[in-house]
Homo-oligomer: A and B are copies of this chain.
Amino acid sequence: MSTLRPSPDRPLDVVCIGNAIVDVLAQIDDDFLATHDMVKGSMQLVDPERARLIYAAMPPAVEMSGGSAANTAAGLASLGRSVAFIGKVADDELGEVFAHDIRAIGVSFSGVAATGVHAAPGTARCLVCITPDAQRTMNTSLGVAGRLGAEDVDLSLVASARIVYIEGYLWDEPVAKESLRAVMRTAAEAGTPVAFTLSDGFCVDRHRIEFLELIEHHVDVLFANADEICSLYQVDDFEEAARLVAGHCAVACLTRSEAGSVILTADGDRHDIAAAFARPVDTTGAGDLYAAGFLAGWVADLPLEECGRMASIVAAEAISHVGARPRVDLRELVEESR
């Protein structure tokens, strides 16, 4: 576990690794969640048949690139950082959309799968159901995204970045998980700190033992919301969970929606960060963009309070419109709010 930030002469600020997903977003009412056995605010993995059923029942939708770590990469690029994304798409229309959008915002991405993979399950899509309270409930059909094999992961990027950022969702696929173990070994050898997000409460439930081991031995910068960190330690009280995680990572960023966030360090420091004002429309990507804001500050060697402040501003932008990806130049947004 490194508490140092590698020197700025590394060619890449951040490499993000995650599921390459195109979101299919639609506004629905609460009855829709009940009818389709969805737990509000969660991410459920669905097989192609269930995805078809849910999609058929959804109202007209909008397609937009998504994916948790990919959204973070897009945010970092919009904040002016050099960033690469590692993830897997198929050679189909949605794969083309994903690759276009992430490159167009300035992220280095070489992950288009070879022709022929099209016969495989196709590019991942996430059916995002947005309720009138701006909450998002997600149903992900992983497609090829979960098949992130060792051959898909360029370890040289991990060794040449100032930090590597990994999403917990990847633990849902054994192949991807193995690739990530290799990433963590490379990061340790190269002195690259590892940032990790717990992703989702149910995801934590599925992988609690492994996540606890990761946090104890491999993760330097942890991101989690209140639900996830409480699920990890199986406690109801946020402060209790915060007490339990403190000291395990160099930095732990715990988000609490409109109540802001808490940043804890292994040295025992605590920074309470206020949320930035937003009129919530769709919370898709709030956590992803919080991480982008924090990491943008982190690789710029800014103090943790300033990293947290940037995270709040960028997360507020994300929830003020449908979809996760930024609608404005985030660097300008942060500068304007100085």
Contacts and interface: CB of A to CB of B under 8 A. Distances in A.
A11 interface: no
Given A92-B93, A93-B92, A122-B93, A62 B323 contact: yes
Contacts of A93: 92-94, 122-123
24 contacts: A56-B100, A58-B100, A59-B105, A60-B65, A60-B74, A60-B100, A60-B102, A60-B104, A60-B325, A61-B97, A61-B100, A61-B101, A61-B104, A62-B62, A62-B64, A62-B323, A63-B63, A63-B64, A63-B97, A92-B92, A92-B93, A93-B93, A93-B122, A93-B123
A130 B250 CA distance: 45
A55 interface: yes
Interface of A: 24, 55-56, 58-65, 74, 92-94, 97, 100-102, 104-105, 122-123, 323, 325
Given A92-B92, A93-B94, A63 B62 contact: yes
A101 B60 contact: yes
Which of A58, A74, A100, A123 has the largest number of chain B CB atoms within 10 A?
A100
Contacts of A62: 62-64, 323
Contacts of A65: 60
A289 to B, nearest CB: 14
A93 B62 CA distance: 13
Given A58-B100, A92-B92, A93-B94, 10 more contacts: A24-B97, A55-B100, A56-B100, A59-B104, A60-B74, A60-B104, A61-B101, A63-B63, A93-B93, A93-B122
A21 to B, nearest CB: 13
Contacts of A59: 104-105
A177 B243 CA distance: 72
- The 6 A-B pairs of least Cβ separation, nearest first, read A63-B63, A93-B93, A60-B101, A60-B104, A93-B94, A59-B104
A60 B59 CA distance: 24
Nearest to A58: B104
